[in-house]
Chain A
Amino acid sequence: MTVGSPARGRQQPAPAARPRARRGGQGGRGEGRFAVALLFPAAVVVFGVVLYPVVRTFVLSLHDVTSPMPGSYPFVGLQNYIRVFQDSSFYPVLGHTLYFTLVSTFAELALGIAVALLLNAPLKARWLWRSIVILPWALPTIVNGALWRWIYNGQYGALNGLLQALGISQTPHQWLGSPFLALNCVIFADVWKNTSIVVFFILAGLQTIPEDLYEAARMDGASAWGAFWRITMPLLAPSIAVVLILRTIEAFKVFDIIYVMTGGGPANGTQTIAFYTYLQAFSNQLFGYGAALAYLIVLAVFALAMVYLRILRQGQMAGVE
């Protein structure tokens, strides 16, 4: 089976039939000016809002900057980067971040695929179910964090109330009271919110798979399970890769839900790299050190994105072959 063949099989205008602007012609000149005019605002935003801070953060990371105010700060080269790896607090923080990223991304992907398959089925009032599923994602993360903080509250939280009402447990649990349990509870809150976006990415992918492939598979005697693994999953690979990249990056730099729900506690158990970076830079005014930490986050995210893209490219090439 070759991935991509159905799309290629669809009727598309032949390349020769497309209108081509002549280089240097009247139309081409107009198009060129128009393209420059269209790109200019985006270029200003990208270079002003993205590139400048990126470069400035790098410059900060090479200095011992300990105040937000103007001044002359000593150049320390790579000392801030070396200090990160000598910092005993960094390794537990890195562990929490990797655990959060791995568990939340996997859970969101697994749940997202399951819910997307359900929403792709011919259900009654499908539009209603789809609207309901998007609701958690529409909530601002800060609101989501505050909501779950109340739900998990050991004294008057809704979760303990529900467990008591259902007769499952009469003893109130301290959901955010121990480091590992609190980390998992924060992950659950994150999964609750972000599964929605995974669902919609996967759902979009599912809708590009032609129905005739499933019909052909049924005629060849394939089971529903077999069709899922041999048709659905391979054709969903590009959507899964995109969603994996996005969610992994987001999970790796998780900050706001931690800030609202636990403040990094209990006993530092929910501190992640982004939260630790924030503490160092703004609470402790170690801007140089914070900038080095921020750069390491960027490098890690960049490496992850490269790995995913490589896997995706290999998968596509294998499919074409």
Chain B
Amino acid sequence: MQSNRVAASQVLQARPTRRTFLATSGALGLGAFLTSCGVGNGSQGGAGNGKGSIRALFMKQAGYSEQNIQAMTGSFQKANPDIKVTTDFVAYEALHDKIVAAAPANTYDVVLIDVIWPAEFGTKHIVADVTSKWPSSWKQKMLPGAVATPQYKGTFYGVPWILDTKYLFFNTQHLKQAKVDQGVLTSWDGVLKAARALKSAGVVKYPLIWSWQQAEALICDYTQLLGAYGGKFLDESGKPAFNQGGGVQALEFMRQTLVDGLSNPTSTQSLEEDVRRVFSAGQASLALNWTYMYGMANDRTQSQIPGHAAVLQTPRGPAGQPGVNGSMALAVAAGSKNQAAAWKYISYLTSQPVQDKYALSSLPVWSSSYDDPAVLKTNPAVVPQAKKQLGDLILRPQVVTYNSISQVLQGAIQKALLGKQSSQQALDDAASKVASQMSS
């Protein structure tokens, strides 16, 4: 024992030599290697006692604004003083990756998830299965598009909260100047006719603006057109089918509007917010966008065309007029230690009275809200269009590898839009890549 003390004191008194440095480094390195050998860590979540602190992750743009969410959260905390909620906001483009990165650390108790993620997050146990918590009455009381949003193979991974699709917005003053009747805007052929008239009348250089940047926004626009032309992402056996029929026609339509100078070439670098800015500046007459644009385009403080922005159901194509299901749901994080409090918070935010109150920002998921005069009064222009549109929504593929499929498609669609490849060739290449991804 004494000799050990002497040895220790000698080590401490000795100068660090190269040998001791290397030995220490080696030992620490080995320690790091051994502690790294496991490929997973973390812990399981739990119900908790329904009290305490919870943390929620939302997105910054579209749907409910940050102020709306803060106000809703404030009301919830007032009604539930034993639950403290901290809210975080990120851009939509960062939302998925933030949820993934935060999952092992159990940072969040509640997360906002897009309609395209339940398959991925559910099967990877990032969000909790809440099927047993779903009252059966909700399935009848909510719109079908909303019920489909947090579902994957019959299991519910959240509660729908933002029910949205893309609508056709138009500038009434521009149409008047070009002597175009808004009645033609019920079909995509009519939209092209109106765009040609607007261009030849010199009202705007490029009548149409779209969110065709290499991002999910591009797939949303493509989905809406694919539905109008009768295309499908996947066939009944789950194999890629977007390179046939309506899928190709939809892309050819998109490309042709650029070639004809009807679509603003900036579209290929634009997201929804860019579309809103260009439309609100009066530099475009026609645009596809989410519900939120209506309020902002008519807001005197944020728009140069207040009172001139109008909205219609998405135009009809040869096969119909389905809107893209762009809904989002609130989910309980699988690793949350306070799932009971998280569920209380989600139940409150998704409740009909709360959703009805904020209908100007995002329309409710509850069917009866659309017949409520108070809701109609909140958003009299969009609610009647939504009532027609929300019963006819098209889903993007509900598969675990959706993100990688979407990335392949985004690249291929952009190649066709920029004229680097024909629509058929670009989609054939994408289909072959997607098929190989799905089989591996």
- Residues of chain A having any CB pair with chain B under 8 Å: 23-24, 28-29, 31-33, 35-36, 39, 43, 47, 51-52, 54-56, 58-60, 63, 65-73, 88, 153-156, 174, 176-179, 262-268, 278-279, 282-286
Contacts and interface: CB of A to CB of B under 8 A. Distances in A.
Given A263-B93, A266-B269, A267-B415, A51 B32 contact: yes
B29 A51 contact: yes
A81 to B, nearest CB: 16
A10 B400 CA distance: 69
25 contacts: A29-B13, A31-B15, A32-B16, A52-B32, A52-B35, A59-B33, A69-B103, A71-B39, A73-B40, A153-B274, A154-B269, A155-B274, A179-B420, A264-B214, A265-B214, A265-B215, A266-B268, A267-B418, A268-B214, A278-B97, A282-B101, A283-B404, A284-B401, A284-B407, A285-B100
Given A266-B214, A283-B96, A72 B40 contact: yes
A35 B28 contact: no
Interface of B: 12-16, 24, 28-29, 31-33, 35-37, 39-43, 93, 96-97, 100-101, 103-104, 120, 124-126, 213-215, 264-266, 268-269, 274, 277-278, 281, 283, 334-335, 401, 403-404, 407, 410-411, 414-415, 418, 420, 433
Given A177-B418, A267-B418, A282-B97, A67 B124 contact: yes
Contact of B407 (A177, A266, A283): A283
Given A59-B36, A266-B414, A68 B13 contact: no
A174 B266 contact: yes
A283 B124 CA distance: 13
Contacts of B420: 179, 267
A24 to B, nearest CB: 8
Contact of A179 (B35, B100, B124, B418): B418
Contact of A32 (B15, B96, B411): B15
B264 A33 contact: no
A155 B24 CA distance: 60
A155 B278 contact: yes
Contacts of B96: 282-283
Nearest to B429: A88
Main DSSP-derived SS at the A contact region: loop
Contact of B14 (A32, A39, A154): A32
A66 B39 CA distance: 11
A287 B195 CA distance: 46
A177 B120 contact: no
Contacts of B124: 66-69, 285
Nearest to A279: B407
Contacts of A58: 36
A58 to B, nearest CB: 8
B104 to A, nearest CB: 5
A177 B266 contact: yes
Given A55-B29, A70-B42, A177-B268, 15 more contacts: A35-B15, A47-B32, A59-B37, A59-B39, A68-B126, A70-B104, A174-B265, A174-B268, A177-B265, A265-B214, A267-B415, A267-B420, A268-B214, A283-B404, A286-B404
Residue of A264, A283, A284 ringed by the most chain B CB atoms within 10 A: A284
B264 A35 contact: no
A31 B93 CA distance: 53
Contacts of A65: 39-40
Contacts of B407: 279, 283-284
A24 B12 CA distance: 11
Contacts of A154: 265-266, 269
A155 B14 contact: no
Contacts of A39: 16
Contacts of B93: 263
A33 B418 contact: no
B269 A55 contact: no
Nearest to B124: A67
Contacts of A268: 214, 411, 414
A217 B123 CA distance: 74
A43 B29 CA distance: 11
Residue of B16, B40, B277 ringed by the most chain A CB atoms within 10 A: B40
Contact of B40 (A69, A178, A266, A279): A69
A266 B277 CA distance: 21
A69 B214 contact: no
The 10 closest A-B pairs by CB, nearest first: A265-B214, A70-B40, A56-B36, A67-B124, A267-B414, A154-B266, A282-B97, A55-B36, A47-B28, A29-B13
Given A174-B265, A283-B407, A265 B36 contact: no
Contacts of A285: 100, 120, 124, 403
B26 to A, nearest CB: 11
A265 B410 contact: yes
